[in-house]
Structures are given as C-alpha cells and as structure tokens.
Chain A
Amino acid sequence: MSLTEISRKKSPWVIHVGTGGCNGCDLEILACLTPRYDVSRFGVMSTGNPKHADVMLVVGPVTIKYKEIIKNLYDQMPDPKVVISVGTCASTGGIYQGCYGHCGGVDKVVPVDVYVPGCNVRPEAVIDGLVLALDILNEKERKILEEKKAKAKGAA
C-alpha cells in the first residue's frame, strides 16, 4: 500500500449532497457524524467543498432542476472519486417512482459505486457503505497509478 492509499483510507473526506429526498436519510447521515455513531473516529470528515472530497454521499432521487448541479459537483471532485447512493429513493426512485419532478435514481446522472438500501437507511448501513466505498477508492487509485506507469513506459 502506498502512502497516499494509507492516508486516503485513514481519512476520507465526504461531501453530502441532498437532492430530492425527504430528509430522512440526510438526518441519518448527520447522526453518523455526531456522537452516537461518530464516524470521525475513523477519520471521516464532512466537507462542503467538492474539490476537497473523495466520497460523495447522494440522498434522494435527482430532481430535474438539480440534475445539472449534481453533474457539476461530480466533475469538480478530483480523481479517484466514489459515489454512494444513500437510501432507496436515491437508488431506484423508491416511493417517488412515477412522480413527474425527478429523473429516477442517481445512477441515471452520475456513475454510482455503492448502493445503500433502506427507507430510511440506518446509520450502521451508511457506515457499512462507507467502508465498502473506501476499498473501491483504493482500487481506483491503483488503476490510475498503473495507467500512469504504463504511459511513462510507453513514452520511454
């Protein structure tokens, strides 16, 4: 494991994006960050700035008005990045299926790596999802490094 990998695994920064959900899952994410579940003891830090974030937590079906913004946020995040869809409605549309105001789950707009089901999700499930996401993050990092090496070899 390289130094960046270790440090990334020890302290991932997450950005929390709420789009069209009902707040149920937003509240549980907040509960994760606060004393009872306290993910900060694993080094997870919540940031409001997409340019600092490794992990994006998306809550809610993507509303039509928010579609562009969420794409924008995703593009601003540095590589490697992971997207977690939190809650049933972020994964499939859930109870809002058939409403005219949204365009389905998050995976219709940005690629999603981890799905956390539940309406509303429990904080334990969010933590589980985060742990899964960290592995994926490191895999992506390794791939990027390999590509870089291959490129360097090709150039030489």
Chain B
Amino acid sequence: MRTTIQFGPQHPVWIEPLRLKLTTDGELIKDVDLEAGYVHRGLEKKFEWDYNKAAYLSERVCAICTQHHSTCFCLGVEGTMAGLELPRRAAIIRTIMLELERLHSHFLAIGLTLEAIGFENMFMLCFRHREQVLDVFERTTGNRVLHGINIVGGVTRNIGPEMAKEILDFCDDIEKRAHEIERIIVSSYTIKQRMQGVGVMTEKMAKELGVVGPVARGSNVPYDVRHAAPHLLYREVKVTPIVEKDGDCWARSLVRVRELFQSIDLIRQLVPLLDGTPDELFAKSKAMPEGENIARVEAPRGELFYYVRGKKSKELDRVKVRTSTYGNGLGIAPLIKGSHIADVGLITITFDPCIGCFDR
C-alpha cells in the first residue's frame, strides 16, 4: 500500500524550511517530490540597488557563507569597473577570511550530520570547536557571524602583525581539535556502519546532474573552483581538490573532514604573505559599473556564481546568483528514491543544504 508522507517544511533535521513529499511503500521510498521556495524573499530584484549597499545585502543571502557571497559579489562588480585594481593586502585578507569561513561551515556541517544519526554529543563537540573559529572572526572583524568587511574595491579592516600571530596560534589549536574529531569519526565503527553505502551517488550521476562542492568531490569528481579557475590569492597558493571514491554519505562527510586540514594549511600559508605587504586596503574606483561580468568562488558547499550587469550608474542593472545548493539540490531526489525513511534526514543533511541560498 502506498502512503504519502510530508517531510517538513518545519522539521528538526533542517534548521530551515524545505518540504519533501515522500511516497512510500512500507519503509521504502518509491517516489519523492521536492518543494522549495519557502525562503524566497526576492533578493535578486533587491540587488538593483546602490552597489555599495548591495555588498551588505549579498552577505545576507546566507549567513553560513557570508564572506563567500560578498567576496563573489565584490569580485563581480569590480570586474565591471574599468581600471580598478584590488590592493594585494585586501586580496590576502579576503582569502584568509574565506578559508576561516570554510572551517566554521564544515564544523557545522559535520556536527549536523552526526546529530542526524543520533550522536548529539558529537554535535556539541563540533559546535564547541566552531566557537573557536567565531572567536577569531570576532577579533578580526568585530562580528561573529556576518562580518561586513567586504566593500567594492577592498576591505574595511586590516589584520595587523599581532592578529596575524594570533591566527597562527589559532591554527595550531584548531588543528589539534580537528584531529580529535577525525580520530573519533574515522575510528568509530557505529558511525561508519550507519553512513557507508547509504545514499550512493555514482561518478556518472554526479557528472550528469552537475553537482558541485563536497558532494561532487565525494563522488570522485575533482572539481574545485579554487583549482579550476583560481581567484584572489589561490593563484599563488595552490589547491589540490580532495576527492573520495565511494560517493556515499560517508565519503561526503570524509571530504569535509579532510578539507578542514586543507583550510588550516592554506591559512598557514596565507598569513605570512601579509608581512611586508603595503597597508593599503581600499582602492577607489573612478569608473561606474558598466557592462557585464561574472565571478565564481568556491564556497564551502561548492561553486558560487554571480553575474553582474551595470548601467553606468550607482544602481546595478541586474544581478544573478547561482548558489551551490542550487546546483546540488537536483541530486537530493534521486538519492532518496529507493532508500529507507530513516535515511532521508541523513542523506539530505550530507548535502549540507542551505535553503537560504537555494531559494534566495
């Protein structure tokens, strides 16, 4: 007998609204219908605004990757302004922030994944480590979650030598903590049993659906924008994409765990570059945005894409945002089809869905 179950929109597994209509036959899911749009505020329309204010608006598309959103937006707008060169120090600071943000986002994602399979203590542990990253944010930008340091043409806050040292100390500390998490996850028989073989996305499927980020890399697709189309400082510090072969929930989570160490390593390489770079944070543009431009960055959840078109005035003509969850969303339904009801929460959460990004 077939039954239809409504999963969401208000469901404890996700902190945001999303609705799945599951058609089930006993415990097995036969059909699934994904209904989104609960967070649709109409942001792209609102972007037709003063471009200086829009940088703050872009942060509020999604607060988990705020720095990625505003950096991508600023890169997009800066490309439309003739003769504007981003100061090197601003580029370094932006890149350090991007990597710090990846750390906090991955801790969040790992924690939520573990909570979905019942390890609430591990969730708490991840969040305790995440607070450490937020402390660094608070010390450098003055804010815990939304940073507000990106403006078109540069950044508003500097990282001085003392803060640089503090960040390096933080790297040592967080590395120890990340190792602890890794040890617990990798050596745990229970976690492995629960996640291995669940929600398998094959390499072929990943390529056909065009998924991005850790979801793609978990399925053996080595696609990372930092590697494929280097932006900012990634032209100098090289990034090799981290891939796992299996494509199940375990592989996706493992990619995130391994990326923690990659980010720490990148921050360690980036901070010394601040030394001796002139204290110039902001370049004023003489031209207004004109023509069109695209920018891509690698957000914690995958490729983030901004299209910007200016009309030679302060207001922008059009901004199009294609977020990483928008790319990944397509993969959710095929994976859920054929799985057990108990796995639905786990499978969706390993996609690290960000509905604020999804609906905009």
Partner of A23, one of B46, B63, B127, B143: B63
* Proximity string of chain A (1-41) to chain B, C-beta cutoff 8 Å, 1 when within and 0 when not: 00000000000000011111111111110110011100000
Q: In the assembly, what is the distance between CA of A23 and CA of B145, in Å? A: 9
Closest to A119 in B: B146
Evaluate contact between A99 and B43: CB separation under 8 angstroms.
yes
Check if B64 sits within 8 Å of A27, measured CB to CB: yes
Q: In the complex, which of the residues A16, A34, A50, A101 contacts B15, with contact meaning CB atoms closer than 8 Å?
A: A16
- B46 interface neighbour in A16, A19, A98, Cβ under 8 Å: A98
> Contact size class for A?
35 or more
With a cutoff of 8 Å between Cβ atoms, the chain A residues found around residue B64 in the complex are: 23, 27
- Which residues between 87 and 131 of chain A lie within 8 Å of chain B, taking CB atoms? 95-96, 98-102, 119-120, 122
Report the tally of A-B residue pairs with Cβ distances under 8 A.
Answer: 113
- Taken residue by residue from 54 to 91, chain A's Cβ proximity to chain B (1 for < 8 Å, 0 otherwise) reads as 00000011010110010001000000000000000000
Asked if B241 is at the interface of the complex by the 8 Å CB criterion, the answer is: no
Asked whether A120 lies within 8 Å of B63 as measured between CB atoms, the reply is yes
Residues of chain A lying within 8 A (CB to CB) of residue B11: 48
Report how far A156 CA is from B22 CA in the complex, Å. Answer: 53
Are A23 and B38 also in contact (CB < 8 A) when A96-B46, A99-B45 are?
no
Shortest beta-carbon distance from A17 to chain B in Å: 6
Fill in one digit per residue for B10-53: 1 if any A CB lies within 8 Å of its CB, else 0. 11100111000000000000000000011111110110000000
Can you list 17 A-B pairs with a CB-CB distance of less than 8 A?
A19-B38, A19-B39, A22-B146, A25-B63, A27-B145, A28-B144, A34-B131, A35-B127, A35-B131, A36-B128, A48-B11, A69-B10, A69-B38, A99-B41, A99-B45, A120-B145, A120-B146
**B-to-A contact residues, CB < 8 Å:** 9-12, 15-17, 37-43, 45-46, 56-57, 59-64, 66, 108, 123-124, 127-128, 131, 134, 143-146, 354, 356
